[in-house]
A and B are shown apart, each in its own frame.
Chain A
């Protein structure tokens, strides 16, 4: 059925908002403030001028003819190719060791305080909540174990990754976008230096290397924060707390979650570098690159976490509780 005809025939029963798909065309309508329905004047292809009809609905002139989907897929493809280029470039000389060292300091060493403070705070808060739940069942002795399990398996890797995405990802996006806007990347190219290897690869590798280390810091700080809270509540000793914490924690609860942060690190580095390196919007692109870097890398980290957890459960069935 022709999309306009279908729309007309359904105009009395339209939902408050929605869309009609027809092949690669789609029209979206939204509730109208004036109580009118707008109907397409032109043909299906490309005409977004709409006329009024009906009492309650407004058809939005948003016609995307598959463009949105196409653009999303293009961006996904470009990002995947970018990531692939990072991997291939990382294993081919010249290796930018000086740049890598500099980026490791920026991504890792300069992030430790944020991770440390967040770990302690989060550990303390977690312990408060765990205690209030477990005290009901008289199981307060399990608090260190629960705390360790939570931090080492999930909270540590995820929170460290999200913190790094916020602090380092935005920085990478903004710095590279600024370099693009001020022609510094062109200047690097003009000096016969491969700007991709010089700027992008060290940043991604720094994230891949730094994040597992920061995750360990986060894990232990979280545990220590939990100890502080418990110590004030029940005067438990440090040694007893840590013995109980690690009592039930196997290597399969410890190694795979830490290793999965290398993937998170890659996501942060590659996504942020992609937005910064490929921007062509001048000064406006700097802010946009920083924001997009944080938003998309955080989202991808969470999505990747879901997939990686399934993989970990598949490879280490013992770790699936």
Chain B
């Protein structure tokens, strides 16, 4: 991994009850540096800074419409910040275009909230598409990689099915398989458990945990499911009105001055 090209001067997360874990971000896989983003009059993120070290999982909590998904989309340059820098694997993704951007994006996997599988392609082709385009793998190698990834998520017998034929949980697992097929270093996950029953949600959490522990993938998860977040996450951030009102371990967030943060982490609404 390349080191960030600019000297790090931030902290692991800023604007969160004054807590700092400075220095932790030195080898961070993902780092936001004074990032702001607005949509028209609405300021979604205001001068946000944080860092996620390699192999760790950051769970972003917060009420709806607080900019959690925007944070994920900024991390993969689907949106651009109005100001600030976003370092992914040592590159400021916010300033990249074209081939350079593609190169960084290959290191990132993204599980969308509703999986965002391509309707017109079978599950097998959903996974094979990025492999055929972005790797030098031969057809049998692609087939093998797709099969292996589908096996990881328990869908090895469903490769020929179309997305519309899959249940909610299967779609989510299929989306996860597609996000993992290129073996990303960073995995961005948007609401992994939304609309799923507790058992299926637990299966998804297990898959994410496996990624973190076995493959040392860095995770950034946006979630409302505190059970899953506590199981997978190392660090928790609570986003409110464009700022982190709490940041740290579950225990630290529980003791935060922010009432919203305490409610969210303990699920006492």
Contact = CB atoms under 8 A, between A and B. Distances in A.
B129 A193 contact: yes
B112 A193 contact: no
A189 to B, nearest CB: 6
A177 B119 CA distance: 13
Nearest to B73: A186
A102 B119 CA distance: 14
Contact of A192 (B113, B114, B118, B134): B134
A186 B76 CA distance: 10
Given A189-B78, A192-B102, A193-B129, A183 B134 contact: no
Contacts of B134: 191-193
Contacts of A102: 120
B148 interface: no
A176 to B, nearest CB: 12
A186 B118 CA distance: 11
Sorting the interface of chain A by its residue count into under 10, 10 to 19, 20 to 34 or 35 or more gives 10 to 19
A234 interface: no
A51 interface: no
A190 interface: yes
Contacts, number: 53
A189 B110 CA distance: 10
B130 interface: yes
Interface in A157-192: 178-179, 182-184, 186-192
Nearest to B78: A186
B118 A184 contact: yes
Classify the secondary structure of A's interface with B.
helix
A192 B119 contact: no
Nearest to A190: B110
A183 B102 contact: no
A190 B108 contact: yes
A283 to B, nearest CB: 12
B116 A186 contact: yes
Given A184-B118, A184-B119, A186-B73, A191 B105 contact: yes
B133 interface: yes
Given A190-B78, A190-B108, A183 B130 contact: no
Given A192-B130, A193-B129, A193-B133, A187 B112 contact: yes
B99 to A, nearest CB: 9
Interface of A: 94, 102, 178-179, 182-184, 186-193
Interface of B: 73, 76, 78, 101-103, 105-106, 108, 110, 112-114, 116-120, 129-130, 133-134, 178, 182
14 contacts: A94-B133, A179-B119, A182-B114, A182-B116, A183-B112, A184-B119, A186-B112, A187-B110, A187-B116, A188-B118, A190-B78, A191-B105, A192-B133, A193-B134
